Structure formats: C-alpha cells, structure tokens
Amino acid sequence: MTELSAHPAIETPSTAPPASYWTLAIRKMLRPWLVKIFAAYIAAVLLISLTVPLLASGKPYAIDIHTGNGWVTRYPLFADLTTRDYLTFIAGAVIIGIVVAWRLTRVVEMMRRRSLRLGIAGVLIGAGILGGSALAILHHNRFDGTDYRALIKSGMAKNAIFAPIPWGYAEMEPLSKNAINELPSWHHWLGTDRSGRDVLARMLWASRVAMGIGFVSQAIALSLGIIVGAMMGYFGGIFDLLGMRLVEMVEAIPTFFLILTFIAIFGRSILMIMVILGVTGWTGYARFLRAEFLRIRQLDYIVAARATGMPLWRIMFRHMLPNGLTPVLVSASFGLAGAVTIESSLSYLGIGVRPPTPSWGGMLNAAGNPATVFHWFEALPPGLALFLIVLAFNIVGEALRDAIDPKSLS
Amino acid sequence: MGNRFTVKDFIFLCIFIVIAVMLGFTLGSFNYLTHQVAGLRSDLQTMQAQQTSELYALKTLQRSGVRTTNHTGINDSSKVASDIRETLPDGSRYVMFPNPPLPPYNPYTKPNFAYGDWLVESLSSEPNRIMPYVPQSESAASIQASVLESLLVRNPLTLKYDPWLARSYTVSKDGLKITFVVRRRARFSNGQPVTAQDVVFSYDTMMNPEVNCAPIRSYYTDIKSCRARSAWTVVFTFKRPYFKALGIAGGLAIIPKSVYGFQHMSEFNKHGKLLVGSGPYVLKRWTAGQAIVLSRNPRYWGPRPIFDRLVYRFITNPQASLQSLLAGQIDADGLEPSQWLKYHNKKSFLAKFTTYKYLSAASGYNFICWNLRKPWFQDRRTRVALAMLVNEPAMIKTFMHGLAVQNTGPFNPVSPQNNPHVKPIPYDPAMAQQLLKKAGWKRDADGLLERGKTQFRFGLTIPSQFPLGKRIAEYIKQQFAMAGIDMQINPLDFTTLLQKINHRHFDAVMLGWSGSIENDPYQIWYSGSYKNDGSNAGDFDDPLADRLILEGRRTLNVRKRMHIWHQLQAEIYRQQPYLFLFTSYSLIAINKRIKNTQPYPVTGISPGDWFVPLALQKYR
Amino acid sequence: MPETPLLSVQNLQISFRGEDALVPAVDGVSFSIYPRQTLAIVGESGCGKSVTAMSILRLIPTPPGKIIAGEIIFNGQDLLKLPEKAMRRVRGGQIAMIFQEPMTSLNPVMTIGDQILEAIFLHQRLPARQAVKLAAESLRQVGIADPERRLGEYPHQISGGMKQRVMIAMALACHPQILIADEPTTALDVTIQAQILELLSTLKTKNNMSVLLITHDLGVVAENADVVAIMYAGRIVEFADVYELYANPLHPYTRGLLACVPRLSQTNQRLTTIPGMVPNARNWPTGCRFEPRCTDCKDEARTQCLSHLPILRQINERHWVATFSAPGYADAKFTLPGLPVRRNKTPATGRMGATD
Amino acid sequence: MLSYIIRRILLMFPTLIGMTFIIFAVIRMAPGLTTAGGSFAPGMLGAHQAQLAQQHFMERRLHLVTRNGKPIPLVVQYVQWINRIIHGDLGTSIKFSEPVTKLVLQRLPVTLVINVISLIIIYLVAVPGGVLAAIYRGRFVDRAFGISSLVLYSLPVIWVGSMAIGFLANPAYLNWFPSAGLHATNTSHMSYFQYVFDYAWHITLPVICLSYGGFAYLAKQVRGSYLENMFMDFTRTAKAKGLPPSAVLLRHVTQNSMLPMITIVGMTVPGLLGGSVIVEKIFSIQGMGRLMYQATYARDLPVIQSMALVSAAITLASYLLVDIAYHAIDPRVNYD
C-alpha cells in the first residue's frame, strides 16, 4: 500500500519547534485522506465506546415523576451508571486532556515544553485517580428496572429528556409479533432484533466490548511480548533457547479450549477474555522484538554504548527498546485488528461475553446462524462495523509502517 | 523493461492452470475413491455380519431340522381367530392376538396402495453407533425402531399394549408376574426363529455389567428375574408393583442370541454397526458422514414392509434440511417455527408438501428450576409472583410464533397424565408486586427488593448452546428488573452446567425434560431424589406430592392412576418449584407423493403407515 | 580512411519521475565510441554517467525512468527504436555490461556455471557439452583457476574479486563488440582493482572490443582510457583524447578534478577540493550548471554564464568542451564528440608517471 | 544436511514434551471432567436416562484420573499418557466411544482436503496476482489490487460466512449452494464426474471463506518480495545478458522470492486447524475443527489431548519442514 503514503515529505516550517520522530511519523502517516478517514473512524468508535452509556440508554437523563408528594425531578440515567462507567469516563477525559495539552504546548520552547507536558500529565492523572477513587467510594449505583416509557404513557411521569438513542442494549419492546425483527424505521433507526431490541443501541454498546477487548488484550500481550522478546534478543544464548521453546509451547495451546476452561472455572467476564487473549497473544511480539534486538545488537551504536561502560538495563531501555519498538508498535496495530476478530469469532461460537451484553460476533450469530432464520438487516450492521474497524486498524497499521520506514521518512 | 504479456507468458499460465486442474482432479479422485472404498467397506462389514449370523443360523437350523420358510403376507389372509382381551378367573389379565395388530390408520386398504419406493428422511446428527442398548442418541433410536422389535407394541390410538412378537401375555393380579408367549412365526432377519431363549438372552445381555448400557439398564432394576418356562414362554417377575412394568418388559428390544452371543460379552461394546433383529428392515449400509440405509427384510415374518428402503440422511442444520426437502432429496422433515411461519400458508409449498402441526407426547417441556434451598425461592408466594411477572402467552407468540403451548405442570399436554383443569398462572405484575410484599420483600435504597439482609439478586444458569433459551432468559431478566429483582444470566457449556446441577451449585437453571406418553415423576419430584445426584435438583420437598407419587407408582389401574397424577400436577403447579415454560408443537412437512401420513393424536406421525402410490414412485 | 563509430549517442535525454515532477538525470548527452577504443566517462556520483551507460542497453527501470529524446546508433540501428526482441539480441550478445557491485550482481541461488551458461545459450546455438567447455574457457580466460569446479559453485562461496571476474567472464562469453563497465572496481580492494583493470585491458585487446568505462577515478582513467568524457550534472562538459585532457584541461571542473588527485610529490599539502555542492537535479541553474562553483567566471562573463547553458563545442581536433571560459569556445561549433583510434595501443604503464 | 535435520528433530522433542505437558496440565485443570459428556441435546434431557448417562460417563472419566479411588498425580498421569502414545494408543473417545485414532483418521482427511484445495487456490490466485501487481506497480492494477487485498484481508470470516449462507444457500433468498456438509445425500449412485461436481459445489463456499483472507495476505507478501527482487542487482545482470523479461521474472526473481513464500506456507499450516473451527461450524462440516469443538464441549479428554498433540506436532513439523526447505533452496545457509 505504498500509494497511501507515496507523497513527498513536506518540510516542517522553520518557525515551529522541531518535531519529534513520532510526531513526524504520525503526521506523515495521516497525510493520505483515506488514512485520515479511517483514523477518524477509529477515534469515533473509541469515543463512542467510552461514552456509550450516555448515548444509548432507555433511561432518561432527567424526568419528572409523580410520587406521593407531588412531582419530583429524577436523573435515572446518571443514577443507573455504574462506578466502572464513571471510571471509564474519567480515564477517557484524562487521556483526551493529555492529548489536547500535548497539542497546545507545541508552541512552547523545547526545554520547557517537556517539563510542562509532564506536569500537565501528572496533574491530570493525579486528578483522575483522586476523582476515580472518590467516586468508587461515594458512588452507589441504583438498580433501576423501571419502564419509564410505560410510566410516561400512564401519566405518572412527564418532561423526560432521553438520550439521543433512547434504547438500552437489553431493552425489549413489549413482546408482540410486530416488535421483533422490525425493519429500520424512525423509531428504531436500524430496526429491532429477534427479541425486539434496538439494533443501533446494541451496535454502539458492542463497540465497547470490541474496543475494550482489543486494546486491553493487546496492551497485555504487548507488555509480555516486549519483556520476553527483549530478554531473548538481548541476552541470547540460553535465554534465547528457553524463550523460543516457551514461545513455541504457548503457540501450541488451543486458545479456544483455554477460554472455555477459564470461563468454566471463573465464570464469564470480559476481563477474562481480555487476559486470555493477552496471555496467549504475546508470542508474535516476542518473536518480532527478538529478531529486532538481534539485529540492533550488532549495530555500531550499541557496541559503542557498551564500550562506554553503560549499564545493561540502560542500553536496553534507552537505546535498544525505542528502536526495536517502532516496528512492534506497527504490528500492534495489526494485532488490534486480530484481537477484535478473535473476540468476534468467540462470541460467534457462543463463548463471549455474558448476555444480554451485546457483541458484534454474538449479534452476527443471532442473525446469521444457519440454525435460525436469516435476517439480513440484523446481520448487516454488526458485520459491517466489524469489517470497518478491522479494515481501519489494518489501514492505519499499513500507513504507520510506511511512515516509520526510514527509507520514506525524510 | 517491457512488461507486455507475451505468448510465452500465456502458455505458462495455461500450463499452470492445467497443472492446477489436474491436481484438483487428483484430489477429487482421491476423495472419491476413499469415499467409495469407505462405502464398500461399510457394505462389506454389514454383509459379513449378516452372513456370519445367517451361516450360524443355517447350521443350527440344519441341526434342528427346521426348514427355513419365507413368510407369506398375512394382511391378505383371512383372520382365523379373533383377538382376545379378558380377565382370567384368578384376576390376571390375558391378552392374545392371533395375528400381529394392523396399524389403526390401515394403509393396506387405502386406494392406490402400493408396495415399493424408498422413504428418505433426515437425521439431525449422525449416531456414533447403532448397537442395541448401548448409549444412543435420538437418531440411533429411530433407526433401531425399524430393525429391532419387542414383545409388545403400543397401539397409537388406544395407547394400550398389544402383543407383537409375543402372541399373548398374561399379567398376574398383583402385577408382579408377566408371562409372554412368543409367536412361533416370528423370525429374525437371519431366518432364526425368535424364541424364549432369545428374550432371556436379550434381558441378560442388557443386565450384563460388562455391556455399556447403564442408562437403559436402570429402567430394568425393578425386575427380579426373567426366565424361560418353555421354548416359547417367558416370565418376567417384578420386585414390587410398578405401573410401568408391562411397558418395560414388553418394550425390551429382542436381539438374536445367534448373532450377539459372544464368548465374552465385553466384545459387545467393541462393535458399532452390528444391528440384527426381527424387524421389517435390515441395515444395508452406513456411509460415514452421509446416510444410513435400511433395506426391506426379505424374509420378514410379519406383514410385508411397504417401502423397499428407508434412507436416513445426516443433515445437521435446519436450513440445510429445508433445502434438501425443497429439492426433493428428503421426503419428510421437521420445520423450525420460523420456517413454518414462512411456508405453512405458501401455495407453492403446499402444492408439494403436506404439513402437520400437532403436539406429540414425545416433545418435552422447558422450565426454569429454582433452587429451593436458596433464600430467595423458599417461599411459595415469591415463586408464584415470579411466574406472574413473566408474560408467557406473549413470549410464546413472539419467540415461538405461537407454535407452543404453555405448560401447567410436569406432564405433556396431550398425555392422559395431564390435568386439563389446572389453569395457568396469569401475567399480572401488579398482583406479583403484592405477593412479593406479602412475602416480605421490600425495595431498599438501591432499588432492589430486599428481605432482611437478603437482596433479591441471583444468577440464572442456561446452556450456552441454546439460543432460544438465551432470548427467554433475557426477556425474563428485563421483566424481573422492573420488579426490582436482579437476575444475572450465566451461560455455561452443557458439561459444566450438568456438573453444577449435580453439585447443586446454582440459584436457578433453565433446562428441558423430554416427554413420553406416561412419565414416572419419581425421579424428578420425589423428595428423596435430591440426594445421590437424583434429578430433583431444586430439592422439591412436598409431603403431599411425595404421597401421591408413591401411590401413583403402585396403582395399576389406569383411570385411578391418572386421577392421582392429576392431583399431583395440581399440587406441583401450585407449589411452583419450577417456572414451567412451554411445550413446542411438532411441525412436519411431508412430500405429497407419500400418502396416509396423518398423525395420531398423541404419538404423532408414524412412518410405518406411509406408502407411495405406484404412479408417484421415484426409486426402484 | 575515417573509421565509422561503433556506437554513437546523440542528444540523449533521460528523466526520472520524482514524487511530483519529472527530474532530468541526463540532459543532452552525445558521444561516440570507435572500435577497439576505451572511452571513459568520468564524473561525480549522481552526474548521470551510470544512467547513460544503462540507457545504452535500455536497462533503465521504466516506470520511474524515461528516455525523453535522443538516439543511440549501434551498427547503424537506433537502439532506442529497436523492438524488444532485437534489443535482447544486442544485450549480452553485442554489447555486454558489468556492474559496480559484484557481490549482489550475481544471483545468489544459481550456480556460477548456470549463470554463465544462461548467457551462452541465449546468444549461441551450442550443444550442451561445448557450452560448458566454453563457459569453463571463459572463466579460465579471466584468470580463474580450476574453472570446472567453480562452475558448480554458488556466488557466496567465492570472493568479491572473483565475482567480478565471473561477471567479466559472463559478459565476454558471447564475444560482444562493446563492454560497458559501470564502475567495475569501486567496490573492490585496491590490489584487486588493479588486477581487474589490467584483465579488462588485456581482454579488450585480445577480443578486439571497445570498452565504455564508467568511473569516478581519474587515476583509473589515465591508465586505461583512450578517450575521456567528463560529465557534470547530466551533461558532458569536456571530451578529449586522454593525453590532450591531462595536458590541457579546459573546463574548470576538469581542472578541479585533476587537482583533487593526490600526488606523491606534494606530500605536505592538503588535498584540494572543489568548493560548493553538486546542484540538485530538481532545480538546476538556468545557466551554466557549474556556475555556482566556478572559479573561472569573471565578472563580464558571469551574466552569460547565468543566463546561457554552454553546449559542447569542438575547439580543436581532439578536444570538445562546454565552457564559455575556454579559449576559442565562442567560434567553435558543435560536432558529435568522438575520436577514432589514432595509433597503436599505448602500454598502460607508460603513463603512470604522468599522473603520479 | 542429514546431521542438521537429525539435530533439528532432536531439538523438537523437548519442545514437544513441554508443549504436551502444558496442554495436559491445562486440560486437567478444566472443571466438568467428572460429569457427563454432552451426549444429549442441550435444553432437552431425558429425565432418568440423562442422570445415568452422566454417571456412566463420569465413571469412564474418573477411570482416567484415579486409581483405587485415589487421584493419580498429574505427572504420573502424564507419563502414562505419553507411554500409551508411544505404544500407538491415543485412547478411546468418551463421547463417541471409538478409538481416537479412528476418529482422527476419519476427520483429518475432510479438513485436510478442504484446506489443501484452498491452499492451492490461494497460491493459484495470489501468486500471479502479486506478481502482476509487482510488474504494474503504481499503476491502476496495482492500486486496485492493493486496496482489494486489504479489504479482503479485513473481512471477518464470520460475516462472510453468515452472509453467504444467508443469501446464497437459503431457500428464502438464493438457493444456489448447499448450506451444510460436503456431499449431496445420495452420492452412492453418482458417476465420477457427478461426484466431483457435487463435491466442488459443496465446498465452494467453505473454500472461499477459508481462502480469501490468506489469498490477500499472501498476495501482498508476494508483491513485496517480487518488487524487492525485481530491483536487485542480479536481476539487472540477467537483463543485461539479454534474457527476456518473462525468463528474468520466472527464473531469477521467482527463485529468490520463493523463500518468503515458503515461510508463509509454514506459518499458514498450523493456523489452518484453528481457522477450520469457525468455517466447519458455519458450514456444518464434520472435520477436525468440529471434532475439537465437540470434544471441548463434551470434555472428551482423550480426544482433546490427542487433538492438541496432533496440532502441536503439525505445527512443529511444519516449522521443521520450512527450515529444511529453506536449507534446500537457499545455498547460502550452511548446515553447521
């Protein structure tokens, strides 16, 4: 896909402070419009997955309810959010804050910029941890199964402000033949599934599972892979021999069986699947980093660093890792695509998340399993979303690979 | 460099393609050959088995000087004697049928009746083995039904047991002793006559601990002995009076000693495809992954079988079997509710297929079993309230497209056990709230129901490979949530789920029991069945129910027994130890070329009655 | 009688497609080679000399590179207009080429013998046994001992100098009329360089062929060439008989180059360098391309240098030059540069003293 | 060469032992070992019969892990298992009551044939495609090829499979392909050509689902390695010799591009079994993937262990074969 980035490097304007290697690479990567679109898509899905409790919910933001002592305003949606939801918001806000601060501080002069950025990041993270722990202690989410729509219909409630998509992921329309397998309409933008639930709401909620599993499992896999791969690549010898055997062994474990086993022991949870995908998925990174390290180890500057008597860990982390890591990060982008695919396959086979939590693979299975009747309008959205997110990760990965290619980075 | 596509490149490409095609063909022929070889080998194996058995039979026949005879059709021979059902002076019941009974919907007298043609049906899974008695799947059972026969047969209309391989039977007054007289005409497919020795042998084989048939053996634990009194008479003695005694003894599949009489009975387990009986069909071939073919037993002792062959094809998913049905590759198929909905009133479909929708006694029912030892479910009012929160009629209408019937107890709705006067608990959330309040449940600050320190929060375990169950659970979860009950859904793979049930590690579990014409409620509902991994997993312990169960099992009089079962059902439904869900309709489509297909009211369709008029016959 | 040139290149223009525009690499190069002559093209890296050499065999990778204009006349045919099939007969058969990197120029997964035989079978109809004999013979010719054994070896099993010898053997196996040697010794050790060059000149006489020697090393030129063309920024700036050039360099660039060659006599002196940088092909100056680095540019001539590109003109019988500062340049005319072989071959050693 | 291969094989054994032990330990950790196997359809249980079947299965499974009522230590179990394997006994399936060897021999050809066919198709399409894209690099063909291979590579199999079954093999839409199995139901009376046609008709959709992703991946690699070798110096030499472009491509470039392609074959083979689980599930094919799936659900220890062993052995063997092929093709690698 060289054509995606086969554009001349534009020299950075001399007025701006010199950009770092990564900034350059990312800027170069984002140049083609196609990559821009798909990067934006990933960002959008990420954002949706972070904020979906506010976007799609059957509970209104605010509503006036008639109680024994007159009308009372309630905020069911916020009361219903779990601590984990709030923590996700805080984490998202911190990350977005750091990114924005990073961009805003670009104009600051080089030496001060670094400490400023670190300071801002520290403050934001500290505030996030503080806020998060306070929330974890103070917030108590209320179990709320009230059907607010019925309440409004019966005149017991009024002035409801609903979320943009006023359906929860598990919320069924009152059971009737007309409510299920509904085609897209004004009421349900993507129709309803065979239990009478809003497909769009489920789609959005499912993005949470996909992105969560993708990012967390790859983070685990990446850190494990980096540690083992770096050890193998740097020390070589017996470390390398044993490490490679370990890699081969882990590759031989049937993931599918492992997940079934763990689900049977510990019960179903997203976390479990994340951990298993992480624990079995690190081998690729380890192999990659090992090869990189074996290559880099021969290079002159490492020999030079060793000649100056620099301690080992410093050579590894300051000199070798940053150089070996770049290609690994590229493969992490493909790894994300792979993790999302595996998660959806597991859900398709029926060993994914706990129902009624939606996931794209599970929705596909419900719609397209040959043992049931095929409803294309139910199978299309999750498949398309899955396809697009995998495509996006792959395209961004390709573009990133081209961008960090030393031959093309001028 | 000039990159034009030259003639040489083209030739290269052609060679490439030719090689590829040749490779494909090689692979194809490899596959084809292995396939054919496998088929031949399977034929050979079955043939060998048949031949050895026949050789053996011939030898013994020569020794005993009996001449093998081909049967003559009896349906056309005029009846010499008439059937007898009478009570003897000593109070025992005597039943004698001089000829095997004809099916109630008699095909032989129908217009256009003709022998011949094949009947092709689908099986949803390939059986692992089709040995008699050995643990079997439903698919193996339907094949065995055409090859193996038993002493008695249940009349599908009257539901009474009629003599089949037995010419007559006598049940002693206390019900402990059943005497069968075997028909002298009856022959196994190898020509060997069916004797009392074979019946005893069959019983002994099944009771032999070396033979892997524990599940079936368990039914026969109530039998004290099985003895041959003479060459044609055999007596079963029971330990205690049991209403199912006649069905158990008369339902034993009779296998020929001449074939299965191994020196070491452990050899029995090693075979997979040795299936020889006295039935109208014999196993012709079994092609792995494809089909099992039965062919007409040429020396069948009874009425001549109608079809020349019965073919059972393994088609694993409903969509594929519908495809095959539409393409005419199979003659009859069960439909999914959604398929039924789509096709049952489509003219083009109805022009080719006859459709039936009926409740069969064999269909089971689904339920949610509450673990009554857990704090949430100990109170009857709570359980009733939970049932009131679920709108079952709407669920049946929506999820099952109306093709199911709500259960009002553990018995099949069409079975005589079922008490038609038990009314289903209505969907009434308001009433449910009141009941919950009465039971002491109050809303706490968290929005959950609470009694004392117990919050109403439990897990429902469902089998993960059961999509409908998931939908039902999701619906129920929502309904409970509205009442302030938090139910978590835990899908587990079936094996783990069974383990959890065995160890009683569950709050509530969704499962199904399969049905039969008359169930013995002991295993599921008797309080003693909680221990020892019995099936009373929820620990239902009701003195009245226990009394009724024990009494019912003893009662041999059908009407009295049914009365007891009706009472039992009312009591169980009142107690609501299960949230009873529904029994689905059987939805069948049969190719129009097959005639006489109407189902019996309780037992459903009976392929033994079917025939194809000469003009419509397809296979010869 | 005046000899006809074996190969003449006229007004060759080659461009490469850059990321946004066409970048000229060779811009109006003309020269000719006569039989049994060694023509050396000298220039800094990036001046277009290798591209010129490759274009003769039409080996320029076509999507980025493109021959815009010009003619390459060989034996009376324009090679640029020749159909691909006829061109293939020329390649290897009549004009052969060896490259700068012997290490990578041989296919690592084929034996040496296979690679030589491939060339032989391509251009000669020979029975297999005879072809093998020919291959062995050509290996022996380039001074490889035990050639029969070498034929079965893989390139990684022999040294760099040997590889270049193999390359030469492969090129000469079909007795070409011209051998294009594209910096044949650059990647080799100095001792081996001399051996290879000597081998080349021996073989040249033996096989009666012309050699087009591409190099950046004026020392090599002095030893081996008959005629020299100096290239700078895509153009030939000076073309002369080797004696003439060394005796009377006219172009300031040539003078600069000659000054850069270290001499034993000037031990204590630092090496001279030509100030400035080679201009980027993307934006060549409109006028003389050497103008920014030129020491000859006097004030009055400068305006001309800035606005006009000096073309190559013949200022005497054996000398062509493209600079306004050369004496007699203004009156001289453009002719196709090329010098027939004047006399009997000069022993290479004879000129050693002149350069050292 | 021979000593190298022997050394490689010897090195394989510790890995194989470690691998099998990990697999063994993980499998023995799984709960549900002492309960029944899924011999009954979920959701429908014959009341009493199911209970007894459970006991029966449990006994047979307990027989595997206990002796005289005491649990056998894991290591001893492992050694016993290995010992049995060495004697050629993979055990007897609990769910299918048949020797595992027989089951594997029954299922393996199914999976193998489909996979080999799709591998052939992958190579038949991807190699010329990749080469064409390399030749016409930067032009429309190449761009279209690049985009489409990326798109294909990103298409999830579960979606393509469900859509294919839903639209192309569904009486409600287009009833073009069969939706399950590998054969029509009455093959016994088919002629050879009918049979082959029928087989081809049945495997079309599964093979498409198995191959398109691999095709895209391989094509990209082929394009890359051809492009790299097309600009190598030795290619230029070959052209300077006067070789026609097709010969340059087929002889010089291809030979050098073989190496990465072989590596890819080696990497694909172990993945085939895993990929088969999904495709065999979607298209109801009774192959190894499905056997694994069924065995896992039924906690059929002997089958799971043997399958894991088989797949581990296949993985290692394919690595070994790649290494040997590398040595055979690339003269630069020495066999020390």
- Asked if residue D219 has pLDDT above 60, the reply is yes
Which residues of C fall within a CB distance of 8 Å from D239? 57, 59, 91
- How many CB pairs below 8 A link B and D? 207
Mean pLDDT of A377-404: 88
Which structural domain range is residue A377 located in?
22-56+182-410
Which segments of C208-285 does DSSP mark as H helices, in order? 218-224, 242-247, 252-260
- Asked if residue D70 has pLDDT above 50, the reply is yes
Q: Which residues are within 8 A (CB) of B539 and not within 5 positions of it... i.e. 6 or more apart? A: B371, B372, B373, B504, B527, B530
Considering only residues B329 and B477, tell me which one the structure prediction assigns the higher pLDDT: B477
Q: Does A82 map to a domain?
A: no
Mean pLDDT of D138-162: 86
> Which among C85, C90, C106 has the least Cβ separation from residue D237?
C106
- When mean pLDDT is compared over A52-56, C64-68, D253-257, the highest value belongs to A52-56
B445 touches chain C (CB under 8 A): no
Which residues of A fall within a CB distance of 8 Å from C18? 8
Mean pLDDT of B44-58: 64
pLDDT (tens digit, 9 = 90+) per residue, B388-441?
999 999 999 888 888 999 999 989 888 889 999 999 999 999 999 999 999 999
* Of B327, B248, B357, residue with least CA distance to D180: B327
Q: Does A133 map to a domain?
A: no
Identify the pLDDT of residue A159: 84
A194 touches chain B (CB under 8 A): yes
Q: How far is the C-alpha of C56 from the C-alpha of C77, rounded, in Å?
A: 12
> Which among A265, A361, A394 has the least Cβ separation from residue D158?
A361
Chain B residue with Cα closest to A146: B482
Identify the pLDDT of residue D194: 81
Q: Does A159 map to a domain?
A: no
- Asked if residue B55 has pLDDT above 80, the reply is no
Considering only residues C264 and C178, tell me which one the structure prediction assigns the higher pLDDT: C178
Instruction: Report residue D334's pLDDT band, with 50, 70 and 90 as the boundaries.
Output: low
What distance in Å separates residue D56's CA from the closest CA in chain B? 7
Identify the CATH number of the domain in which residue A317 sits.
1.10.3720.10
* Of B38, B118, B120, residue with least CA distance to B289: B38
Q: Are B255 and B147 in contact (CB under 8 A)?
A: no
pLDDT (tens digit, 9 = 90+) per residue, B57-96?
556 555 554 444 444 444 444 445 678 888 888 888 899 9
Identify the pLDDT of residue A247: 86
- Asked if residue D196 has pLDDT above 90, the reply is no
* Touching chains, A (3+ CB pairs < 8 A): B, C, D
DSSP letters for B81-138: S--EEEE-TTS-EEEE-SSPPPPSS-STTSTT-----EEEEEESS--S---SSSS--H
Residues 118-157 of A with CB under 8 A from B: 140-147
Q: Are D46 and B523 in contact (CB under 8 A)?
A: no
- How many CB pairs below 8 A link A and D? 148
* Of A294, A280, A261, A57, residue with least CA distance to A169: A57
Q: Does A114 map to a domain?
A: no
Least-confidence region, from B169-178, B230-239, B293-302, D109-118: D109-118
Adjacent-strand bridge partners of B282: B295
Instruction: Report residue C43's pLDDT band, with 50, 70 and 90 as the boundaries.
Output: confident
Instruction: Report residue A309's pLDDT band, with 50, 70 and 90 as the boundaries.
Output: confident
What distance in Å separates residue C314's CA from the closest CA in chain B? 36
Considering only residues A260 and A16, tell me which one the structure prediction assigns the higher pLDDT: A260
Q: Does A257 map to a domain?
A: yes
Q: Are A50 and A86 in contact (CB under 8 A)?
A: no
Q: How far is the C-alpha of B201 from the C-alpha of B222, rounded, in Å?
A: 18
Check CB contact under 8 Å for D242 and C93. Answer: yes
DSSP C111: -
Identify the pLDDT of residue B14: 75
- What is the tally of structural domains in chain A? 1
pLDDT (tens digit, 9 = 90+) per residue, B336-385?
888 888 888 889 999 999 999 999 888 888 899 999 999 999 999 999 99
Q: How far is the C-alpha of C112 from the C-alpha of C151, rounded, in Å?
A: 5
Q: Which SS3 state, helix, strand or coil, does residue A81 take?
A: coil
pLDDT (tens digit, 9 = 90+) per residue, A178-214?
778 888 888 888 888 888 889 999 999 999 889 988 9
What distance in Å separates residue B7's CA from the closest CA in chain C? 13
Mean pLDDT of D166-191: 77
Which residues of B fall within a CB distance of 8 Å from A371? 317-319, 336, 467
Structure tokens at B91: 């109070």
Q: Does A115 map to a domain?
A: no
Residue to substitute from B386, B397, B442, B478, interface A, most A β-carbons within 10 A: B478
In this structure, how many other beta carbons lie within 10 angstroms of the beta carbon of residue A178?
10
What is the CA A111 to chain-centroid distance, rounded?
Answer: 33
Instruction: Report residue B10's pLDDT band, with 50, 70 and 90 as the boundaries.
Output: low
pLDDT (tens digit, 9 = 90+) per residue, B432-453?
999 999 999 998 888 889 998 8
In this structure, how many other beta carbons lie within 10 angstroms of the beta carbon of residue D321?
14
Percent of chain C with pLDDT over 70: 89
B336 touches chain A (CB under 8 A): yes
Domains defined for chain B, CATH in brackets? 1-620 (3.40.190.10)
Which segments of B176-256 does DSSP mark as H helices, in order? 196-207, 214-217, 245-250
> Which among A1, A249, A398 has the least Cβ separation from residue D22?
A249
* Of A136, A104, A38, A21, residue with least CA distance to A333: A38
- How many CB pairs below 8 A link C and D? 79
pLDDT (tens digit, 9 = 90+) per residue, A117-128?
888 889 999 999
Which residue matches tokens 């020794």?
B63
- Asked if residue A255 has pLDDT above 80, the reply is no
Q: Does A63 map to a domain?
A: no
- When mean pLDDT is compared over A118-132, A288-302, C290-304, the highest value belongs to A118-132
Q: How far is the C-alpha of B400 from the C-alpha of A180, rounded, in Å?
A: 12
Check CB contact under 8 Å for B513 and D45. Answer: yes
Q: Does A1 map to a domain?
A: no
